[in-house]
Structures are given as structure tokens and as C-alpha cells.
A and B are shown apart, each in its own frame.
Chain A
């Protein structure tokens, strides 16, 4: 069973049709790169998968479970919140919380989530005050340990107590990646993770993403870094004007592009990198 099945997703803003029926599947541990020119709907697609936008039509299935279905009744906020935990999202502009240290950025959401579950248990009298306190301490310790392990993975152990404004762009983005992993999403999405970075800093971020791949993380990466897409992605989707114009392995797309649009796009990208 595929970890992700996207079927015929459509989305319009006013009279602009941005996604005109997007379908694809993703297997566990696979890395999917999405390429395409500006305005083709890549960001919108990622936002739909994270419930930051609600598609007009189509369905999304995660692990065989319904995630989004346009025929389903509107979900409540808390149902959406539950479901979107299947996905993580790394933004182009990092969006770290500036008032917190890197470590605090990583533990915040996990603690809030686990503590509110614990509070619910206390309220329903499933546990008593004493157990509650013990478990709360355990949450504090576990989340910190988990966060430190994640920082180790992205090579930021020494920056745990730094504030975002004290980090370089590349370090901020690596921290944001670690934060996105803190709730162990099934699928991690990246929206042009290196576009806001100076060229000399893109490498460190791409290397982190590459290392996640060997750790078996399922990922969807929207990127303009053609070399990266070619080397790291198991599969590539080329989007144009709200449709998947072409998809396949990197071999197929880069060495043997079929559609004129893709040939054009790759030609321009090549020119640009030279």
C-alpha cells in the first residue's frame, strides 16, 4: 500500500484555477521532487497537503486512511489538527519562533500536544494528580531528549541554546527541519528550502535532506535545485499550469524529457546554472 495517494486534487483562487486535477502516489521512504516554473502551483499543492489550503475537489489518502476528501463533510478544527500531523512542512522562509531558542522551538509543539492529552486524562479521572505530575515530568524530559537527538542529526547540537537571530540562514533552515521532524510526521514536505539562502549555504541544507533520505524519511521536495532533484529524488514530477505535465524517475525526466514544456524548462535551468 502506498503511504500517500493523491487523487484529482483541484483548487481555485477566485476565478484562477491553480490546480487542475493533480494525482500521484508515493511509497514509504521515497523522495519525490516537484519541479516546475514559477506560478505552476507547487506551493499550493504542498499547502493543500498540510491543510493550509482546502482543495475544492479530489481526495488524499495517507496509509490507506482518508486524509482529505472533497465529498466528506467539513472537518472540525481538531480533526484537521489530528490529521495534519501526518505531514510536516518546511517553509522557504524558515518561520522559526524568534523568541525561543532552537531547543525551545523544537519542544514547544510536542509538549503542548502531549500535555493537553495528559490533561484530558486527568480530567476524565483516568489518572490521579500524582501520576499526572510524574508523566508531565517525563514529557519534559522525553521531548528534550528527542529534540537533542534531532539537533544532532542536523548538525546543530552546539546551537541548542541559540536564538534564531543568532544563526545563519542555513542553520536556521536546519533547525526548522529538525522542528518539522519533532512530531515524527509520516511525510515531510519542503517548499523550496534553499531559495531564501545565499548560494554558499544551500549545500549544508541539501546535505541534511540527503541524510534524511538514508534514514528512510518519506519526503516531498519542491525545488529549483536541478542537480539536487536529479541526484536525490527517486521520482520527479514536473508541474506546469496546474497539471502534472510529466513524471518519472530522474533518468527519464532529465535524460529523456518528452514534453516540449519540460524540454524548455530544463534548457532554461541549464543555461541558468552555467
Chain B
């Protein structure tokens, strides 16, 4: 197998990796916000419900969660989700919970005085959130979100346990035919991807550095 052929094969797997990555972010970023509101709810049944969910999702290996989403519905006679959607659902739930904890920490770190200042100025709670708190939360969560999102890039490789053919799975096909080097070659793809994300998050952080909190 030539280098070019291998590269093309791996690229087709990398496309799946990227899809899984992007779709996970698109759903998990807003879902995480809802979960964080749940864990901060003043109504304690809601609060503890979400806290337990977050505890379970963060406490169980992601690989196991992928298996659960893929196989468990079948036990109840519900039609299987396909492989890719199963992996996606598991990733979205898992990452939404991780993100929710980052959001919660970010929201709780904004001094209460900011909200009170807004209230005294006759602003509504919603206005205070969108015009005062939110941007400060974003500034605070950019670094930990960067970390988590970079972890996601590498976690996508776990989808191969239910035979989603992403880049690592592709490389394993080569390994099965006793061609080992493509497996190591995949590292280059991950490194480039993570490199780009590192630059992006550095840029975002810099954009918010015009003020201190």
C-alpha cells in the first residue's frame, strides 16, 4: 500500500471523526447549559435529579456509555439506533454533563454584586444574564472548555468500540493486515487538529483579555 493510498483511506475515516466531533459540540454546548441550570435550580427535586445524572455520566466510563446507548434499547425491543447516531448520543450526553459543570463553575464565579448592580438599575433578570453575566462567564470558561474540547478530539476514537469507522478504526483495518505504521500515522491527524484548536482557543482567550474580572 502506498503512502498516498493510506493517507486517502485515513482521511475518509478522519471525516467521520470530524463529523462526530462537530455534531457533539453543536448539541452538547447548549444542552450543557440546560443541565447546568438544572443543577443550579432552586427547586431541589430538579436540582438533585440533574446532580445525580451528572454524577452517573461523569462516573461511568464513556466507552461503557457508548455500549449502553447502542445495545440497551435492543433489550426492550426498541429498534437500534444506528452505530454513528448511538455514538453521537453517548458523546452528547457525556460532554453536556462535563460542560454543565464548567458552566456552573463559571456562572457561580461571577460576583453576586454584578447581579445586584443590575437589579438596582432596574434591569430584568434576563437582561442581567445576557448583558452582564454571560460575557463574564464566557471569559472564565474559555480555558477549561478548550481543555475539554481537545479531550473530545481524542475521545472520538472510542466510537470504534461499536464499529463506527473513524480514523483509528480505519488504521486498525490496516493493522489487521499486518500493516502497523498507519496506526502511528493517525497521530499526525490528531496533532494537526488539536494544534488548530489550540490556536483558536488562544485567539478567543486573547479577544477577551481586554478587560479583567
Contact = CB atoms under 8 A, between A and B. Distances in A.
Interface of A: 50-52, 77-78, 81-82, 84-85, 87-89, 91, 93, 95-99, 108-109, 112-113, 163-165, 179-180, 182-183
B43 to A, nearest CB: 17
A85 B122 contact: yes
B127 interface: yes
Interface string B170-213: 00000000000000000000000000000000000000001111
B120 A97 contact: no
Contact of A99 (B117, B124, B211): B211
Interface in B88-142: 111, 113-114, 116-125, 127, 131-132, 135-136, 139
B211 A109 contact: no
A213 B114 CA distance: 27
Interface string B58-83: 00000000000000000000000000
Contacts of A50: 119-120
Nearest to B125: A77
A179 B123 CA distance: 13
A82 B122 CA distance: 7
A82 B121 CA distance: 10
20 contacts: A50-B120, A52-B116, A52-B119, A81-B122, A82-B122, A84-B119, A87-B120, A95-B113, A95-B116, A97-B132, A98-B136, A99-B135, A109-B122, A109-B123, A163-B210, A164-B211, A165-B211, A180-B120, A180-B121, A183-B122
- Could you say which interface size class chain B belongs to? 20 to 34
B106 to A, nearest CB: 14
Nearest to B138: A99
Contacts of A84: 119-120, 122
Contacts of B136: 98-99
Query: Which secondary structure characterizes the binding site on chain B?
Result: helix
A179 B118 CA distance: 11
B184 to A, nearest CB: 45
A121 B136 CA distance: 32
A232 B164 CA distance: 76
B60 to A, nearest CB: 38
A98 B213 contact: yes
Contacts of A52: 116, 119-120
Contact of B124 (A81, A85, A87, A98): A81
Contacts of B131: 108, 112
A165 B209 CA distance: 11
B121 A179 contact: yes
Contacts of B118: 109
A43 to B, nearest CB: 12
B120 A88 contact: yes
Contacts of B111: 95
A113 B211 contact: no
A180 B121 CA distance: 7
B117 A98 contact: no
Contacts of A85: 122
Contacts of B119: 50-52, 81, 84
Given A50-B119, A81-B123, A91-B117, 15 more contacts: A52-B116, A84-B120, A84-B122, A87-B120, A91-B113, A91-B116, A97-B117, A98-B136, A99-B211, A99-B213, A109-B118, A109-B123, A112-B131, A165-B211, A183-B121
B121 A163 contact: no
A53 to B, nearest CB: 11
A95 B123 CA distance: 15
Contacts of A99: 135-136, 139, 211, 213
Contacts of A109: 118, 121-123
A52 B139 CA distance: 27
B136 to A, nearest CB: 6
Nearest to A109: B121
Given A84-B119, A163-B210, A95 B114 contact: yes
A93 B113 contact: yes
Contacts of A108: 121, 123, 131
Contacts of B135: 99
A93 B117 CA distance: 10
Nearest to B130: A112
Contacts of B127: 112
Nearest to B120: A89
A102 to B, nearest CB: 12
